[in-house]
Structure 1
Amino acid sequence: MGRAFEFRKERKFKRWAKMAVQFTRLGKEIAIAVKEGGPHLESNSRLRTAVQNGKAVNMPKDRIEAAIKRASEKDSKGYEEHVYEGYGPHGVPILIETATDNTNRTVANIRSYFAKAGGSLGKTGSLDFIFQRKSIFRFAAGEELDVEELELELIDGGLEELYIEEDEEGNDVVVVQTSFEDFGNMQKLLEEKGIDVKSAKLERINLSNTEVSEEASAEVMKLVDKIEEDDDVQAVYHNMV
């Protein structure tokens, strides 16, 4: 009984910690969107997307509204977005997206993580041949949804790929992929069709894989976990299998 309770308690704590990180990152995305296009959802598609993604992970409504209000204030701090690329242990490529109010701090931290793990930070663009930026939309696959028909209808929005995956709760989710440039076109088309998109993101898709041993994988993931703990980091990608 005692062990089971402690295990459930630990799992609950980890879920809370994960949610806290997600909320912080989405709060930054909301702030960036407000600074770029203003606080009104109707006229700011990036803000609309950020709020949409917040709702998808159960970010409280009052927290979303507070983030928008805070970013709308004249003296609120802004964030700069930067991408860092390098090679971790065993030559595994790692790409990091950040949003920061202090670039010097961020790059110093990222360089330190790589150095301590026996890796190295590279030049921006050095991993473009491995990671390609794509627009990824996800929404529930209802029983009435005709996937084949929808696939034809979304071609005008720049559809590259459409497939079904399962979410953490075992529910079927439709995944729509387009090029980075077609994000706005597909977002508009899905809105016009009345599709309730749960998340809309620009993600990095790896074009090749690096195979490593189980022991090597553990070393790389230790570095990835360390990077993900940094408050300035928004997303981390690797191509390890």
Structure 2
Amino acid sequence: MPKFKLFANKKGIADQKRNNQYVKFARQIYVEAKKGGPDPNANLKLKAIIANARAIQMPMENIERAIKKATDTGNADNYEEIRYEGYGPGGVAVIVECLTDNRNRTAADVRAIFNKRGGNLGETGSVSFMFDRKGVIVIDRETHAVDEDTILMHALEAGAEDVVVEEDTYEILTHPHELDQVKAALEKEGYTFSNAQVQWLPQTTTKISGEDAAKMLKMMEAFEENDDVQNVYANYEIDDDEMEKLLKS
């Protein structure tokens, strides 16, 4: 296959993923603007969602359109938040957070994704006890030339619980209810963020390989492509070399 064709295919996949993210953020913005008001300065949750959307280059016109839709009294769209829990291949614990205007459609879609990839949908609470609910603030290391001691000091002074140092990022962990407070304090110190939201963090991981690993990645991809799915969390662990092979296949 010609190289330009390969590039076109990759670009098409990347564009589709980005558009999927835009759809999800537009829905979040709509719901939060309708619930807490359309002014980001008076609605901190809306402000945080917009900041996350802008971090992936979501156009302002898309954001403004979602806010305008929320303020339109003639708009009857009504979304509800639903959490699904289940198991993926190899006994991996999975949490799926959805925002939907059709509970039956979403439940059927989520169940089908679990079943098709060797997993099964469970009851609410069946796996969430294996995760901790935390606020996670992500800072790109290349954006801020500060050492680990400095970032840890600023984070703890701001009220954070811990800092996880990754190769490319600092991940600042907070109590879920203190995410906005910590984020605001760090902004005063001059920090910017690539993402800031409440997440489910696994307490332990389940190592998988071979067919289970391939199916798990396909399951995650299917959930991420579904417009109703806002976030998906799983406690799988795949060896780096095998992950690289799977991503190339």
- TM-score normalized by the length of structure 2: 0.86
Map residues 14-29 of structure 1 onto 2, 5 A cutoff: 14-29=13-28
- Say yes or no: does 1:217 pair with 2:213: yes
The answer on whether the counterparts of 1:137 and 1:197 sit within 8 Å (CA) in structure 2 is yes
The answer on whether the counterparts of 1:165 and 1:173 sit within 8 Å (CA) in structure 2 is yes
Show CA shifts across 1:186-241 (max 9, x none). Answer: 12212333422332112221111112222211122222222222221111121112
- In structure 1, runs of 5+ residues without a counterpart are 167-171
- Say yes or no: does 1:154 pair with 2:150: no
Map residues 29-48 of structure 1 onto 2, 5 A cutoff: 29-48=28-47
Mean alpha-carbon deviation: is it higher for 181-190 or for 17-26?
181-190
CA distance in 1, matches of 2:26, 2:127: 28
Q: Report the RMSD for the aligned CA atoms in angstroms.
A: 2.0
Shift of 1:91: 2.0
Structure 1 residues 144 and 230, CA gap change in structure 2 (3 angstroms): closer
Shift of 1:184: 2.3
- TM-score normalized by the length of structure 1: 0.88
Mean alpha-carbon deviation: is it higher for 79-88 or for 172-181?
172-181
CA distance in 2, matches of 1:139, 1:91: 32
Runs of 4 or more consecutive aligned structure 1 residues displaced over 6 Å after TM superposition: none
Show CA shifts across 1:18-63 (max 9, x none). Answer: 1101111111111121022100011100110011011100111111
Alignment correspondent of 1:79:
79
Q: Which letter does structure 1 place at the counterpart of 2:28?
A: E
Alignment correspondent of 2:184:
188
Q: Which letter does structure 1 place at the counterpart of 2:33?
A: V
The answer on whether the counterparts of 1:35 and 1:78 sit within 8 Å (CA) in structure 2 is no
Mean alpha-carbon deviation: is it higher for 122-131 or for 34-43?
122-131
Q: Secondary structure at the match of 1:139?
A: strand
Q: Secondary structure at the match of 1:231?
A: coil
Q: Secondary structure at the match of 2:206?
A: coil
- Say yes or no: does 1:135 pair with 2:131: no
Q: Secondary structure at the match of 1:215?
A: helix
Q: Which letter does structure 2 place at the counterpart of 1:153?
A: H
Shift of 1:146: 5.0
Structure 1 residues 189 and 106, CA gap change in structure 2 (3 angstroms): same
Mean alpha-carbon deviation: is it higher for 147-156 or for 103-112?
147-156
Mean alpha-carbon deviation: is it higher for 119-128 or for 56-65?
119-128
Q: Which letter does structure 1 place at the counterpart of 2:59?
A: P
Q: Which letter does structure 1 place at the counterpart of 2:68?
A: K
Q: Which letter does structure 2 place at the counterpart of 1:206?
A: P
Alignment correspondent of 2:57:
58
Alignment correspondent of 1:169:
none
